Amino acid sequence: QTIYLKDYTPFGFQVDSVHLTFHLSPKATRVVSRIEFTPQPDAKDKTFFLHGEQLKLIAAKIDGQPVSPAVTPQGLTCDAPTEPFVWEAEVEINPQGNTALEGLYMSNGMYCTQCEAEGFRKITFYPDRPDVMSTFTVRIEGDEKVLLSNGNPTGSGEGWAEWHDPWPKPAYLFALVAGDLINHPDRFTTKSGKDVELNIWVRPGDEDKCAFGMEALIKSMKWDEDVYGLEYDLDIFNIVAVDDFNMGAMENKGLNIFNSSCVLASPETSTDANFERIEAIIAHEYFHNWTGNRITCRDWFQLCLKEGLTVYRDSQFTSDMRSASVKRISDVIDLRGRQFAEDNGPLAHQVRPESFQEINNFYTATIYEKGAEVIGMLKRLVGDDAYAKAVALYFERHDGQACTIEDWLQVFEDSTGRDLSQFSKWYSQAGTPRIKVTDDYADGTYTLTLEQSTPPTPGQPDKDPRVIPVAVGLLGQNGDEVRETEVLELTEAKQSFTFEGLSAKPIPSVLREFSAPVILERETTNAERAFLLAHDSDSFNRWEAGNTLAKESRIAMVLDGAAPDADYLDALIKLVRDDSLDPAFRSLVLSPPSQSDLAQTLFERGHTPDPQAIYDAAETFAQTLAEAMTDSLPRLYADTTVQGDYSPDAASAGKRDLNTRILSLLTRLDGGDQAARQYADADNMTVQNAALASLLKAEKGAEQSQTFFDQWQGDRLVMDKWFGLQVACAAPAKAAGLAEDLTKHALFDMKNPNRFRAVMGALAMNQAGFHYAGGAGYKLLTDNLIALDALNPQTTARMCAAYQTWKRYDDTRQGLIRTQLERIAGTENLSRDTSEMVTRILNG
Ligand code: ARG
Ligand code: ZN
């Protein structure tokens, strides 16, 4: 059943207050609710319908009188008074049996919840929609030492605790946690002097992995005050780490729940990348307190209202805490890898979709990351000051409300006077715009012509031109900047922009800072790219020039059997050796273009990508580079080795990142000697993991893999690395077989999403391994998806996206994949989640 944005109707009742009592028991928890409703006199739809799924209704009353509602698998309907009334119900649920990890479930003996988007209806009967907001009072009765819910604690005793959340919220922000947990406490004083208690709650044994997360939380609270003027609004802020979780984390009011992989950190068990990600996710969830909780979404079509904005805010935070240019480049790599793949395939959808079957399938790179890009473009178009003013108006006007994208755009229109009707197409049109760039120079005038078009996407054959901010700078022949960055506003299908008074034809640096999520098409020479790689003052475009050269060289290798481009190799080596450059930047320049990205580019140019040929080109390129650097690699390795105690700061992490890339090149020459020494000496996970990865890639790591296992088998998060790394580093012919063996390992547990993703996600990411001739990878993934669907539809459906690029490939591979997709589609009792995904992938 499909749900449409155009069908939105407000609920016919206001919820004045919610009281919930939980009698916890693993297989038979009782939930008693007492909810005050006021009928809305002018409501169009006066039906008293409460969502409810997988609930055993024990009793229901209205104003104290027993009632017998009509119950379906989706919820109940009941005759309701026309005056304010009190609804009471008692239901029974089974947290222990809840493997979907949605609603109230158990993870390693602790109770926890995940209600976004529509999980609250698995806890009790309720109008489970984000535009219904109310205050919640919660009483928890259970034997666990720690009993938590949203808001402020109002009382507790032996076996019970009570909480009251004074801020009206939708049910998706409800949370409950109960377990024998230990806290890592701290405090924060807000700018207006409010003293807030902070806790990170973990299972015993994890208490030494909380300090970094706590620091990140305190930094986030301070940053949101300093940059957005937003202050925390309760007496307490709790974070809980949970081992079994479908997503990264959840912003429940005052009680954020985290996948333990996104909060627990220690130098011995976490990599630099883990530390950075944890800092960003803690910030993200905290920032939701205003962008998501105080101002929420009217309906789930508006998901990007809170997610795009909050991703945008967390990326600003990371830029401020670390290096802005490194963050921008990494974000673009990620956007191209995940969002462009989505936007240019069967799963393409609008930043604000207009229909869906299962909302959980729309927590996507398009809603999150493209949603954030749209906000970045808006800020660039109106300017920093106007952005700040508009956002301030947003909080002033909409605090306490459930809003739409129209509300968001309106504050910008009202505060700047700008007409944003064309800009709003970024929300309503799916697909990645292409911009064709041509230029001309005559008599001191330089002309840039930009032509935009967007290919068709499912359900949207034709697209209108959008407003696209294209940041451009011009360089002179000597490498100096002759025109500083200027934002061109492309609004027409085709438009020319002129620059006067130039003494010679300049070299353009187009789409600086990646000012719009588009694909640039420009015929240019490798010499010009090399020039930009050497001279561009915009670090994004400098990296981009190198990235394009790397791609073009590999494409020539794949298509024409060419050797690695000698000029590019020279330029690359010069850059990598240049000690005056930031190591993190050098590392990014050295990082190879993704094999999936190459496949997509080949496909768009009319070729059928061969994953094995792309893999071989990458190998040959790296081998040639390593050989060309034979003399300098040992010195570079030594120079980039970080001495002293481990610290996860950005500078050390950037240096280690470069060191890891040097090690992988070195391993091609020394057969793994240096990597084995690094492994033996490692005193932190970043270098231990890097050494093991290099060895596994060289098929030399059997012994280290065993010692790694022996050392870390008691640590779930490190074991996820062990499972994932082997598959990620496996040679194409071996990846599927190895992944299959790992699914038979005693520590493989498909009920744990992190472990499932470690193996199956790594397989899907190993391009040449997953698509290896014969289709063993497809069959293995499908077997596992079908088995998991019966337990956990959400995680299954997300992983189906591994097939979204299937139309790129040759007929044989398409045939093999079609067979697997049809096998999933034909599975009995397939979940709505997975069924929607597979149908879209097959038909898109
Ligand atoms: N709102 C959460 C976040 O962005 C994501 C939770 C999504 N959960 C889900 N089951 N779809 O941090
Ligand atoms: Zn979010």
At 239-271, the pLDDT tens digits run 999 999 999 999 999 999 999 999 999 999 999
Average pLDDT over residues 731-744: 98
Among the listed residues 205, 203, 272, the one whose alpha carbon sits nearest the alpha carbon of residue 244: 203
Question: Can you tell me which atom of ligand 1 is nearest the CA of 249?
Answer: 12
Report which residue type is found at 38.
T
Which of 363, 366, 837 for mutating ligand 1's site (highest number of atoms within 8 Å of CB)? 363
Which residue's CA lies nearest to atom 1 of ligand 1? 250
The ligand that comes nearest to the alpha carbon of residue 307 is 2
| H helical segments located in 507-610 | 526-535, 539-560, 566-577, 583-590, 595-604
Which of 247, 258, 360 for mutating ligand 1's site (highest number of atoms within 8 Å of CB)? 247
Ligand 2 mean position to 82 CA, how many Å?
Answer: 38
Question: Can you tell me which atom of ligand 1 is nearest the CA of 368?
Answer: 4
Ligand 1 mean position to 595 CA, how many Å?
Answer: 29
Residue 487, φ and ψ in degrees, nearest 5? -95, 110
Ligand 1 mean position to 150 CA, how many Å?
Answer: 17
Which of 98, 116, 257, 833 for mutating ligand 1's site (highest number of atoms within 8 Å of CB)? 116
C-alpha–C-alpha distance, residues 337 and 765, integer Å: 10
State the DSSP string of 561-582.
Answer: -PPPPHHHHHHHHHHHH-TTS-
CA 666 to chain centre: 33
Q: Are 420 and 409 in contact (CB under 8 A)?
A: yes
Which two three-digit tokens encode residue 32?
A: 């008693």
Average pLDDT over residues 531-545: 97
Determine whether the shortest distance from the Cβ of 359 to ligand 1 is under 6 A.
no
Which helix or strand (DSSP H or E) is residue 276 part of? helix 272-287
Which helix or strand (DSSP H or E) is residue 375 part of? helix 371-382
Which of 112, 250, 288 for mutating ligand 1's site (highest number of atoms within 8 Å of CB)? 250
Determine whether the shortest distance from the Cβ of 252 to ligand 1 is under 6 A.
no
Sort 442 into a burial class: Cβ within 10 Å, 0-12 / 13-18 / 19+: exposed
Ligand 1 mean position to 181 CA, how many Å?
Answer: 23
Determine whether the shortest distance from the Cβ of 754 to ligand 1 is under 6 A.
no
Among the listed residues 116, 113, 271, the one whose alpha carbon sits nearest the alpha carbon of residue 721: 271
Instruction: Give the C-alpha distances (Å, rounded to integers) separating 149 from 111, 139, 188, 327, 720.
Output: 11, 9, 20, 35, 30
Kind of pairing between the strands at 355-356 and 3-4? antiparallel
Ligand 1 mean position to 116 CA, how many Å?
Answer: 6
- pLDDT at position 140 is 99
Q: What is the pLDDT of residues 472-530, one digit of tens each?
A: 999 999 999 999 999 999 999 999 999 999 999 999 999 999 999 999 999 999 999 99
- pLDDT at position 776 is 98
Determine whether the shortest distance from the Cβ of 247 to ligand 1 is under 6 A.
yes
Determine whether the shortest distance from the Cβ of 165 to ligand 1 is under 6 A.
no
C-alpha–C-alpha distance, residues 557 and 553, integer Å: 6
- pLDDT at position 210 is 99
* Residues in a beta bridge with 653: none
- pLDDT at position 232 is 99
- pLDDT at position 553 is 97
Question: Can you tell me which atom of ligand 1 is nearest the CA of 307?
Answer: 4
- pLDDT at position 775 is 98
Determine whether the shortest distance from the Cβ of 251 to ligand 1 is under 6 A.
yes
* Residues in a beta bridge with 520: 435
Determine whether the shortest distance from the Cβ of 285 to ligand 1 is under 6 A.
yes
Q: What is the pLDDT of residues 101-137, one digit of tens each?
A: 999 999 999 999 999 999 999 999 999 999 999 999 9
Q: What is the pLDDT of residues 187-210, one digit of tens each?
A: 999 999 999 999 999 999 999 999
State the catalytic residues. 285
Conformational region of residue 47, where left means phi above 0, alpha means psi within -120 to 50, and beta covers everything else: beta
Ligand 2 mean position to 755 CA, how many Å?
Answer: 22
The ligand that comes nearest to the alpha carbon of residue 306 is 2
Q: What is the pLDDT of residues 409-418, one digit of tens each?
A: 999 999 999 9
The ligand that comes nearest to the alpha carbon of residue 248 is 1
Determine whether the shortest distance from the Cβ of 131 to ligand 1 is under 6 A.
no
Residue in the structure block whose two tokens are 């954030």: 372
- pLDDT at position 528 is 96
**Residue 443: CB partners within 8 Å, gap ≥ 6?**
none
Three-state SS for 228? helix
- pLDDT at position 743 is 98
| 3-state secondary structure string across 233-259 | CCCEEEEEEECCCCCCEECCCCEEEEE
C-alpha–C-alpha distance, residues 537 and 528, integer Å: 15
Determine whether the shortest distance from the Cβ of 360 to ligand 1 is under 6 A.
yes
pLDDT band at 773; cut points 50, 70, 90: very high
Question: Can you tell me which atom of ligand 1 is nearest the CA of 246?
Answer: 10
Question: Can you tell me which atom of ligand 1 is nearest the CA of 281?
Answer: 12
pLDDT band at 624; cut points 50, 70, 90: very high
Which residue's CA lies nearest to atom 11 of ligand 1? 360
Determine whether the shortest distance from the Cβ of 526 to ligand 1 is under 6 A.
no
- pLDDT at position 255 is 99
Determine whether the shortest distance from the Cβ of 626 to ligand 1 is under 6 A.
no
Instruction: Give the C-alpha distances (Å, rounded to integers) separating 10 from 15, 44, 510, 736.
Output: 13, 8, 46, 50
CA 248 to chain centre: 8
Ligand 1 mean position to 250 CA, how many Å?
Answer: 6
C-alpha–C-alpha distance, residues 416 and 384, integer Å: 12
Which residue's CA lies nearest to atom 6 of ligand 1? 250
Q: Are 139 and 34 in contact (CB under 8 A)?
A: no
* Residues in a beta bridge with 268: none
Query: What is the percent of the chain with per-residue pLDDT over 90, rounded to a whole number?
Result: 100
- For the chain, how many residues are written? 844
Instruction: Give the C-alpha distances (Å, rounded to integers) separating 580 from 329, 587, 636, 670.
Output: 19, 13, 13, 28
C-alpha–C-alpha distance, residues 511 and 486, integer Å: 10
Which residue's CA lies nearest to atom 7 of ligand 1? 116
Strands (E), 716-820: none
Determine whether the shortest distance from the Cβ of 363 to ligand 1 is under 6 A.
yes
Determine whether the shortest distance from the Cβ of 576 to ligand 1 is under 6 A.
no
Which residue's CA lies nearest to atom 2 of ligand 1? 250
Determine whether the shortest distance from the Cβ of 88 to ligand 1 is under 6 A.
no
Average pLDDT over residues 451-474: 98
Which residue's CA lies nearest to atom 8 of ligand 1? 116
State the DSSP string of 384-439.
Answer: HHHHHHHHHHHHHHHTT-EE-HHHHHHHHHHHH----TTTTHHHH--SPPEEEEEE
- pLDDT at position 824 is 98
Three-state SS for 509? strand
- pLDDT at position 438 is 98
Determine whether the shortest distance from the Cβ of 794 to ligand 1 is under 6 A.
yes
CA 690 to chain centre: 23
Q: What is the pLDDT of residues 302-326, one digit of tens each?
A: 999 999 999 999 999 999 999 999 9
How far separated are the first and last CA of the chain, in Å rounded? 18
Question: Can you tell me which atom of ligand 1 is nearest the CA of 310?
Answer: 4
C-alpha–C-alpha distance, residues 75 and 319, integer Å: 45
The ligand that comes nearest to the alpha carbon of residue 310 is 2
Conformational region of residue 160, where left means phi above 0, alpha means psi within -120 to 50, and beta covers everything else: beta
Determine whether the shortest distance from the Cβ of 115 to ligand 1 is under 6 A.
no
Which residue's CA lies nearest to atom 5 of ligand 1? 250
Ligand 1 mean position to 247 CA, how many Å?
Answer: 6
- pLDDT at position 139 is 99
C-alpha–C-alpha distance, residues 787 and 169, integer Å: 36
Query: Tell me, what's the ipTM?
Result: 0.98
CA 672 to chain centre: 34
C-alpha–C-alpha distance, residues 30 and 46, integer Å: 29
pLDDT band at 613; cut points 50, 70, 90: very high
Report which residue type is found at 664.
S
Question: Can you tell me which atom of ligand 1 is nearest the CA of 360?
Answer: 11
pTM value is 0.99
pLDDT band at 566; cut points 50, 70, 90: very high
Beta-carbon count within 10 A of 281 CB: 21
| 3-state secondary structure string across 42-103 | CCCCCCCEEECCCCEEEEEEECCEECCCEEECCEEECCCCCCCEEEEEEEEECHHHCCCCCE
